[in-house]
Amino acid sequence: YFSWEVLRFLLSNLRMWIEEYRFDGFRFDGVTSMLYHHHGIGTGFSGDYNEYFGLHVDEDALCYLTLANHMIHFLHPECITIAEDVSGMPALCRPVAEGGGGFDYRLAMAIPDKWIQIIKELKDEDWNMGNIVHTLTNRRYEEKYIAYAESHDQALVGDKTLAFRLMDAEMYTNMSVLSPLTPVIDRGIQLHKMIRLITHALGGESYLNFMGNEFGHPEWLDFPREGNNESYHYARRQFNLTEDDLLRYRFLNTFDKDMNKLEERFGWLASPPGYVSEKHESNKVIAFERAGLIFIFNFHPYQSYVDYRYKIILDSDAAEYGGHQRLNHSTEYFSSEYPHNYRPNSLMV
């Protein structure tokens, strides 16, 4: 139960961080545990509205979150608030004036969990395209989500970064361009680019990058604490890795830069959600449209498809990203008037 004194303290605390310390917004941690008396423990959320409305909702906590968002946006419209909510509470990320909770964004927490799950548990030929698409698109309509491919739980001590889980020990021996491109490093680099791009383009209305994910940070980050004898050994970002032309990290970094520049040019994050026209399980191909662009991903471990036709503007297989240059960018690409998957035209295979 929140007394009015406690509410005044919490709200003034938020205002202090903005006005005294110049914070430009807040990520509210563990919002699911605040919204419900059961704190989300042992509870699955299927999307049924009975799960979100009833006596199990903590009305005092919901009132505080709504007041906090209203105050922040009323006094400082430039500030952004983000909810770490796994339950999918309806209207949590709609304005208070509409009867919503007032958050600007919700973290798409299922996405990084999905990538780790399939990398850990499945062989490449067993990846399920429909399941990947479902995870990337399963969000409340007109509530904005922040998509991310890797979470802080992976980048901090105790787990492995996405790159390290893909390439592991070979990152210490085979990331030099002077060493042979091994199957492990090749697979890791190509999947790292594809995972980031499809997450960026299909997974939300904003994109978040955790520590070193943009260039494949090989190790976790850790900060001085009693558990590591106050060591600074892992308390650093290894930016030097991207600046060495003899290391393959620069390919990942260059791809990340061009991926973000492309989004800046076409604005897919501010566009309506992507329209997925193909989830081909045997070909391992996902194709979708967003912001006037067509995205085609081939997750097949060994099969290439050379006859997709269109204009290529970002190709993860290009040489500057450590790819194999299997697509000819000077080729003219065409769609044809052949209806497929409820769309009037097709790219022919």
Q: Please write the tens of the pLDDT for every residue from 103-137.
A: 999 999 999 999 999 999 999 999 999 999 999 99
285-290 and 80-83 beta bridge pairing: unpaired
| Chain position carrying tokens 């929140």 | 2
Looking at the predicted structure, is the pLDDT value of residue 1 above 60?
no
Band the pLDDT of 4: cuts 50, 70, 90: confident
Pairwise CA distance, residues 270 & 139, whole Å:
15
**Other CB atoms within 10 Å distance of the CB of residue 128:** 15
Give the tens place of pLDDT for each residue, 173-230.
999 999 999 999 999 999 999 999 999 999 999 999 987 889 998 887 888 989 889 9
**Total number of domains constituting the chain:** 2
Same domain as 230, residue 131: yes
Of the residues 82, 107, 132, the one at which a domain ends: 107
Looking at the predicted structure, is the pLDDT value of residue 55 above 50?
yes
Same domain as 82, residue 119: no
Asked which of 2-16, 68-82, 165-179, 297-311 is least confident by mean pLDDT, the reply is 297-311
Residue 83 CB partners (closer than 8 Å, separation 6+):
28, 31, 65, 92, 93, 101, 103, 105, 106, 107
**Other CB atoms within 10 Å distance of the CB of residue 101:** 26
Pairwise CA distance, residues 187 & 311, whole Å:
25
Pairwise CA distance, residues 255 & 318, whole Å:
9
Asked which of 86-90, 92-96, 109-113, 157-161 is least confident by mean pLDDT, the reply is 157-161
Same domain as 193, residue 176: yes
- The answer to whether residue 127 sits within a structural domain is yes
pLDDT of residue 126: 95
Pairwise CA distance, residues 265 & 261, whole Å:
6
Which positions are annotated as active-site residues? 29, 84
- The answer to whether residue 139 sits within a structural domain is yes
pLDDT of residue 347: 62
Tokens in use for 215? 């260039």
* DSSP character at residue 196: H
Band the pLDDT of 349: cuts 50, 70, 90: very low
Mean pLDDT over the full length of the chain:
90
Angle between helices 183-202 and 110-121 (to 10 degrees): 150
Of the residues 84, 107, 130, the one at which a domain ends: 107
Same domain as 114, residue 20: no
Domain that holds residue 57: 4-107
- The answer to whether residue 337 sits within a structural domain is no
For residue 283, with 0-12 CB atoms within 10 Å meaning exposed, 13-18 middle and 19 or more buried, which class applies? middle
Pairwise CA distance, residues 301 & 53, whole Å:
45
Q: How far is CA 159 from the centre of its chain?
A: 18
Higher pLDDT, 75 or 310: 75
Residue 272 CB partners (closer than 8 Å, separation 6+):
290
Same domain as 44, residue 168: no
User: In the predicted model, what is the mean pLDDT of residues 29-35?
Assistant: 94
Same domain as 115, residue 101: no
Same domain as 162, residue 254: yes
Same domain as 273, residue 250: yes
| Chain position carrying tokens 């105790």 | 158
Pairwise CA distance, residues 243 & 259, whole Å:
19
CA dihedral 322, 324, 330, 333 (to 10 degrees): -110
Q: In a 3-state reduction of DSSP, which class is residue 307?
A: coil
Residue 180 sits in a domain whose CATH number is 3.20.20.80
Higher pLDDT, 95 or 340: 95
Same domain as 269, residue 150: yes
User: In the predicted model, what is the mean pLDDT of residues 21-41?
Assistant: 94
| Chain position carrying tokens 């802080």 | 152
pLDDT of residue 56: 93
pLDDT of residue 308: 58
